[in-house]
Amino acid sequence: MEKTLSIVKPDGTRKNIIGEVIKRFEQRGLRITALKMLRLSQDEAKLFYIIHREKPFYESLTSFMSEGPIVVMVIEGEHAITMVREIMGATNPKEAAQGTIRSDFATSVEHNIVHGSDSKESAAYEIPFFFSSLDIF
């Protein structure tokens, strides 16, 4: 079984669609093995998104990610990383397949409702950023 991290971003919590996001993962046979709501400081968001520090959107992304509560979750299942990314849809909601989370709810590339680990290496960094092994069931 593969594990991945997903985040309902501040725009998703504001739109009150946390349950809808979780439902879409669960309906595809994925299992939520850890879940919590929190608010990142901008410094914490910068650390989480450190891989993007040289990119032009880094400051606006980290500012956005610290502007309200987020919901972080560990998701488990066969091919969980690929499945979560498929359910989320393309980063740009205009390019996201119909019926994906981003096509249905996102307003822009940055305000795109959800985050998901893009590889096993990313998941290995991102999951322990938010959860200890004792938090994951």
Catalytic residues: 115
**Neighbour count for residue 62 (Cβ, 10 Å):** 23
For residues 34 and 137, the answer to whether their CB atoms sit within 8 Å is yes
CA 100/CA 109 separation, integer angstroms: 14
For the sheet with 70-77, list strands across it. 31-38, 70-77, 2-8, 114-116
Dihedral of alpha carbons 52, 56, 61, 63, sign:
positive
